[in-house]
Structure 1
Amino acid sequence: MKLGADLKAFEKRLGHSFRDPALLVRALTHSSISSPTRPDNQRLEFLGDRVLGLVMAEALFEADRSASEGQLAPRFNALVRKETCAEVARELDLGAVLKLGRSEMMSGGRRKEALLADAMEAVIAAVYRDGGFDAAKALVRGLWEKRIGAVEADARDAKTALQEWAQARGQKPPSYSELARKGPDHAPVFTIEVTLESGQSASAEAMSKRQAEQAAAKALLLRLEAGNG
């Protein structure tokens, strides 16, 4: 099998030349276009999730040899969560080479976070199957390098931290409300406001309610820590 120009360009962005190009094609094939002769990427996604997890666990273990399990676990979760995988996929412009059925394509599948994250995990598995663990490890470490270095801040659960801040001062848990939702149904952007019983508030936008809540909580925490709440 020979890859087209678009997949050859993706190979270059990825930094891995496939000995078996069919693996890459399968990793990029969504179930909406699969058939008995064209398998989708779900099995590879399952495998890639485990490969990513092992590489990240080892990277964190080596990066901070004094960290406890309780410190490592949230860092690990921040690195392997779907949102992070989708961010990496966007940096690679993976959406441009996803193979989708017409209905999925028309509904904006190339930009959907879940599809991007799943395909990213499948691509990791494809590299693992094509070149072995060392090749997959090099790929993941390269793509996730800057995130590994910044994971301490990313791993902080802002909603939990804000709730603890409020409880420590005898306040009720923070309340979250949706101020706005814009954009098409397949790619909405949510604006969420968080408010404390004492009146301090902050808002943030994101492509999911959970992300927007976390971003709003983080913004308010930063304001409170700076003494500007």
Structure 2
Amino acid sequence: MFANLQTEIADRYGIHFNDVALLEEALTQANYINEHPNYTGHDYQRLEFLGDAVMQQSTAVYLFKRYPDWDEGRLTELRIMMVQTRSFAALSRELHLDKYVQLGRGEELSGARMRDSLLEDLWEAFIGALYLDQGQQAVMDFLEQTLFAKVDSGFFQQFVDYKSKLQEFLQKNGAVKIVYETLDEVAEENNTQIFTASVSLNGDELARGTGHSIKEAEKAAARIAFEALQK
């Protein structure tokens, strides 16, 4: 099984693990080991711990070099956006870690293979394994092809809670009334729905946004309002 993953990541990213046992450890859940008494390997949790630290450092170095004119606040904000774990689940799926993880029978039946929280952990464990196997530069080269390549694409915006950010910004000087309202619902040719929502502050409209659900439309309105207020 792991030979197939080795071939995949070699073909896509030019990565060849020297110690395949590290790769297997990064993709083995504790419940799998509990159900296989003769299994001699370890689960991914220690590698996850290491990978978390490596991700933080690698992203900080990348941003520091890429944006030499940015102050600490802007660098920190983008770093937090990039290393929030919700994005790691999407990256795990791109790497097909969901396909190769070794799960216990109960976890398999409960749908853990599709669970974002597990996939987030697997991404960090994979990074930890790669760091131990090949060092920091190999991690940076891999992240250049995956995580860092998405900086300019808007990929990370989907994981930002703009409604909370807007609320925090508007209420920094005291309580205010923030209201979201659904204004329109239109059916497209493919039968999908497009919703339009607005966000208002004390009765004054701040922005409007659209999305394929009311939640998406409200989030879009919050993002537009927040970015406009920041300017």
Q: Specify the TM-score bucket, using the shorter chain as the normaliser.
A: 0.7 to 0.9
Percent identical: 30
Distance change (3 Å), C-alpha of 1:126 and 1:54: same
1:146 is matched with 149
Q: CA RMSD in A?
A: 3.8
2:59 is matched with 56
1:65 has 2:64 as partner? no
Please show how residues 30-49 of structure 1 align to structure 2 within 5 Å: 30-35=29-34, 37-49=40-52
149-158 vs 80-89, which moves further: 149-158
- In the alignment, the residues of structure 2 paired with residue 225 and residue 43 of structure 1 have an alpha-carbon distance, to the nearest angstrom, of 39
Q: Secondary structure at the match of 1:34?
A: helix
- In the alignment, the residues of structure 1 paired with residue 203 and residue 42 of structure 2 have an alpha-carbon distance, to the nearest angstrom, of 55
Give structure 2 stretches of 5+ with no counterpart: 182-196
Count residues in correspondence: 205
Displacement after TM superposition at 1:149 (Å): 3.0
Please show how residues 103-122 of structure 1 align to structure 2 within 5 Å: 103-122=106-125
Give structure 1 stretches of 5+ with no counterpart: 177-192, 207-211
1:201-220 Cα deviation digits (max 9, x unpaired): 868679xxxxx968733345
Q: Taking structure 1 as the reference length, what is the TM-score of the superposition?
A: 0.72
Q: Taking structure 2 as the reference length, what is the TM-score of the superposition?
A: 0.72
Tell me which amino acid in the other structure corresponds to 2:177.
K
Displacement after TM superposition at 1:158 (Å): 1.9
- In the alignment, the residues of structure 2 paired with residue 3 and residue 157 of structure 1 have an alpha-carbon distance, to the nearest angstrom, of 36
- In the alignment, the residues of structure 1 paired with residue 11 and residue 111 of structure 2 have an alpha-carbon distance, to the nearest angstrom, of 25
1:198 is matched with 203
C-alpha contact (below 8 Å) 1:10/1:92 kept by paired residues: yes
Structure with the greater alpha carbon radius of gyration: 2
Please show how residues 127-166 of structure 1 align to structure 2 within 5 Å: 127-150=130-153, 154=157, 158-160=162-164, 162-163=166-167, 164=169
2:220 is matched with 218
- In the alignment, the residues of structure 1 paired with residue 10 and residue 55 of structure 2 have an alpha-carbon distance, to the nearest angstrom, of 19
- In the alignment, the residues of structure 2 paired with residue 88 and residue 22 of structure 1 have an alpha-carbon distance, to the nearest angstrom, of 22
Displacement after TM superposition at 1:87 (Å): 1.4
